[in-house]
Chain A
Amino acid sequence: MTIPEIQAKIEAGLPGSTVQILDPYRDGVHIKAVVTYKGFSGKSLIEQHRMVYATLREEMKEEIHALALETRSE
């Protein structure tokens, strides 16, 4: 799964969100997603992260090994 695919998946699952994918080690494996989404407003951090994970439900099982998350409600 490529970085643009991950980005597209999150954006599709959270309509109107802004997703920035960082690849700090340039290995395509240890990636970080910074997700800004109005729908996070009023939600706990756990709920916010669960919402992102839900968009990647299948991918999280196998393909994505290390995904760091930072969520913002703007």
Chain B
Amino acid sequence: MEATTKSQIEDLIKSKKVFLFMKGTPEMPQCGFSAGVVTVLKNLKIDFGSFNVLSDMKVREGIKEFANWPTIPQLYINGEFVGGHDITVQMASSGELQKMVS
């Protein structure tokens, strides 16, 4: 991964308490798992920033290496990688996610 891509990713993660790398936009997700995480965050009224990885091939590939995680979406809270779709859904239903953002 190029250094510029890495710092771009780091800047994005720091730009908001809750940040989501996804396929598509919150208004128009382009994948079922991305849509699922957006729905969870919206239902919990969690304010979040997002980046559409389909708009940038370097970020799309770089983020997998950055988090050592092979799939997208990826959710970050307070600059820390939290997980993908399944973990987010599971943490939301256990109430853990709400605690992390409060």
Contact = CB atoms under 8 A, between A and B. Distances in A.
Interface of A: 30, 45-46, 49-50, 53, 57, 60-61, 66-70
Interface of B: 31-33, 68-71, 81-87, 90-91
Contacts, number: 32
Contacts of B86: 49, 68-70
Nearest to A61: B70
Chain B: interface secondary structure?
mixed
26 contacts: A30-B32, A45-B83, A45-B90, A45-B91, A46-B69, A46-B87, A49-B83, A49-B84, A49-B86, A49-B87, A50-B68, A50-B69, A53-B69, A53-B70, A53-B71, A57-B70, A60-B71, A61-B70, A66-B31, A66-B32, A66-B33, A67-B71, A68-B33, A68-B85, A68-B86, A70-B86
A70 B93 CA distance: 14
Chain A: interface secondary structure?
helix
Nearest to B36: A68
A26 B33 CA distance: 17
Given A66-B32, A66-B33, A46 B85 contact: no
A66 B90 CA distance: 17
